[in-house]
Amino acid sequence: MKKLAEVLKDWEAVIGLEVHTELTTLDTKMFCNCKLSHDDPPNTNVCPVCLGMPGALPVPNRKAIQYIVMAGLATNCQIQRRSMFYRKHYFYPDMAKNFQTTQGPVAICMHGHLDLAVSGEGASERPAWETLAGDGETPIEREKDGSYVAPIRILRIHMEEDAAKMVHVGGEEGRITAATESLIDYNRCGTPLIELVTEPDLRTPEEARLFMEKLQQTFKTLGISDCSLESGSMRCDGNVSLRRRGETKLGTKTEMKNINSFKSLHDALEYEICRQAEVLEEGGIVYQETRHWEPSRHRTVVMRVKETADDYRLFPDPDLAPFDLTDDFIEEARAKIPELPDAKRDRYVADFGLKRADAAQLAGDPSTAETFEKSVALAPDKAAKTVAKVMVNLVPAYKALAPAQIASISALLDEDAITFSQAKDVLEAVDGTDRDPAAVVDERGMRQVSDTGALEPIVDEVLARCTDQVQQYHDGNKKVVGYLVGQCMKASKGTGNPKLFNKLLRQKLEA
Ligand code: ADP
Ligand code: MG
Ligand code: ZN
């Protein structure tokens, strides 16, 4: 198969995502009072409603509706005051009532968008000559470094319920094929689930990956889900088709399932784009089918040919009255939305002078942002930039650090008491303990002398001794200062502050 970059020269990849998110932070299920929990013994959180007993009546979870409205507002959707629940019929043991309660043509949230900032290596997956966003109208403006912002339209976010969890035993990679037994746990059945569907506006596997990442950050910040791809509380299907560059008609798409990491999403789309290109270039046709991503073999395989909407016999659920959301209800949801990652990033740039990419990294994850802000509050004034530097470069390796420890190490760095590589050693030593980094620095005698009075005699001694180098300096070889700093460090047995030595040397040489 050809490489992605090669394929994308001739073909345009068109990608749309369907993302399911369980509202894991709620206490109860969507239509009954059963507890929402992932750790209880199988089939203990069940009742006549979520087991689909005849005559049981569903009652919608008010807080789940509030959460989906928050999700819609945070993704710039129009909130539909009137919408309703439908029954989507299918026969499979993971839904005891033989239909899933979901929404029809009108979802609670319609027509939103997220702006995607694409930078670094990933930005080059989209060929530079492509100047329009996926909507075919918005110009894509490139920065000098190739980065760009692409608006990605969201078609809808609707409310539905999750199915039971099935475990197939004895088969290959947990699939039903060749399994000897299938186990079923109805605890998950009826879990509030929101499904977001994008317009086919994504153009590269990297854009798809970044979209998912941004969505995860947004929903996490809203506090509506733990958004774990690994555990399946956030699940993503990737739809992709190819068309010749310049063509406007959409090609036939395939849909990728079993994507449980950001890398899988990227790699599955990359593989599928290359596979489709090969099929099309050999004169074959791409079938509309659902394919399964096999991460261990790095390929997709056919799962089933696509069922059509007619097969589901979708009709309004007679047990559930249509919604009439009031303005008060929507405003109450809006008031609950915390500062979102983009706004937070911009604030960090404006208030602390951070680099945009660093600010975005810190603002993206709510718990990282919280640690950062707590650390800044505890650190000396003006040390915010150092705190950011520590958090971006050092903290990911030392997860168990407390804000007070981050503030302390930042203060030490800020006053040049230690170097960055010393900071690394110190953090390793205090990680997971409640020890103060400053105490470790003192204990190990690491603190650099940053007192001019103590360093000056050393500088004078070195300048008096190294007459050749001093002459070279005056002859224009300014780089020789590096050698002189080295001599000062040696004379101070490594305890002097190299930056201060440098400054003092230059002062005296220029005097
Ligand atoms: P289905 O009925 O097969 O689920 P939908 O029309 O609901 O298809 O679209 C599902 C997802 O696939 C959406 O994200 C949509 O943007 C995307 N999509 C639709 N058509 C195409 C296509 N030709 N190529 C790529 N993605 C597509
Ligand atoms: Mg679909
Ligand atoms: Zn129940």
Per-residue pLDDT reduced to its tens digit, 224-281: 999 999 999 999 999 999 999 989 999 999 999 989 999 999 999 999 999 999 999 9
Tell me the chain's radius of gyration from C-alpha atoms.
29
Average pLDDT over residues 54-73: 97
Ligand having the closest approach to the CA of 18: 1
The domains of the chain, with CATH numbers, are: 4-334 (no CATH), 341-443 (no CATH), 452-510 (1.10.10.410)
Asked whether 465 and 488 are in contact (CB, 8 A), the reply is no
Average pLDDT over residues 404-412: 93
Is the CB of 400 inside a 6 Å radius of any atom of ligand 1?
A: no
The pLDDT value given to residue 437: 92
The pLDDT value given to residue 116: 92
List beta partners, residue 323: 83
Asked whether 50 and 189 are in contact (CB, 8 A), the reply is yes
Is the CB of 169 inside a 6 Å radius of any atom of ligand 1?
A: no
Average pLDDT over residues 343-370: 91
Q: What is the DSSP string of 165-191?
A: EEEEESSSTT-STT-SEEEEETTSTT-
Q: Which pLDDT band, with edges at 50, 70 and 90, does 388 fall under? A: very high
Ligand having the closest approach to the CA of 160: 2
Is the CB of 17 inside a 6 Å radius of any atom of ligand 1?
A: yes
Whose alpha carbon is nearest atom 3 of ligand 1? 306
Q: Is the pLDDT of residue 306 over 70?
A: no
Whose alpha carbon is nearest atom 13 of ligand 1? 16
The pTM score is 0.85
Nearest to 107, CA basis, from 75, 134, 130:
75
Average pLDDT over residues 78-105: 95
Whose alpha carbon is nearest atom 11 of ligand 1? 16
As a 3-state breakdown, the chain gives helix, strand, coil percent values, each rounded to 5, of 40, 20, 40
b/e map 454-491, b = 16+ CB within 10 Å = ebeebbeebbeebeebbeebeeeeeebbebbbebbbeb
The pLDDT value given to residue 173: 66
Which residues are near ligand 3, the ion (C-beta closer than 5 Å)? 32, 34, 47, 49-50
Q: Is the pLDDT of residue 486 over 70?
A: yes
Q: Which pLDDT band, with edges at 50, 70 and 90, does 322 fall under? A: very high
CA of 201, closest atom in ligand 1: 16
Token code pair at residue 58: 């569903």
b/e map 260-278, b = 16+ CB within 10 Å = bebebbbbbbbbbbbbbbe
Ligand having the closest approach to the CA of 196: 1
Q: Is the pLDDT of residue 59 over 80?
A: yes
Q: Is the pLDDT of residue 196 over 90?
A: yes
C-alpha to C-alpha distance for 188 and 231, rounded to whole angstroms:
12
Q: Is the pLDDT of residue 405 over 80?
A: yes
Kindly give the distance from the C-alpha atom of residue 312 to the centroid of ligand 2, in angstroms, as a whole number.
12
Q: Is the pLDDT of residue 184 over 80?
A: yes
Kindly give the distance from the C-alpha atom of residue 187 to the centroid of ligand 3, in angstroms, as a whole number.
8
Q: Is the pLDDT of residue 379 over 80?
A: yes
Kindly give the distance from the C-alpha atom of residue 306 to the centroid of ligand 2, in angstroms, as a whole number.
10
Kindly give the distance from the C-alpha atom of residue 18 to the centroid of ligand 2, in angstroms, as a whole number.
7
Provide the CB-side half-sphere exposure for 237 (13 A, CA). 16
CA of 251, closest atom in ligand 1: 23
Q: Which pLDDT band, with edges at 50, 70 and 90, does 327 fall under? A: very high
Kindly give the distance from the C-alpha atom of residue 187 to the centroid of ligand 2, in angstroms, as a whole number.
25
Percentage of the residues of the chain whose pLDDT score is greater than 70: 98
Is the CB of 241 inside a 6 Å radius of any atom of ligand 1?
A: yes
- Pocket of ligand 1, candidates 20, 113, 235, 239: which has the most ligand atoms within 8 Å of its Cβ, to mutate? 239
Q: Which pLDDT band, with edges at 50, 70 and 90, does 218 fall under? A: very high
The pLDDT value given to residue 309: 61
Collapsing DSSP to helix, strand or coil, 216 comes out as: helix
Is the CB of 198 inside a 6 Å radius of any atom of ligand 1?
A: yes
Q: Is the pLDDT of residue 171 over 90?
A: no
The pLDDT value given to residue 308: 65
Residue 95: φ, ψ to 5°: -135, 100
CA of 198, closest atom in ligand 1: 14
C-alpha to C-alpha distance for 172 and 178, rounded to whole angstroms:
7
Residue 504, amino acid: L
Environment class of 407 (CB within 10 Å of its CB; exposed 0-12, middle 13-18, buried 19+): buried
Average pLDDT over residues 383-410: 89
Q: Is the pLDDT of residue 389 over 80?
A: yes
The pLDDT value given to residue 103: 97
Provide the CB-side half-sphere exposure for 256 (13 A, CA). 31
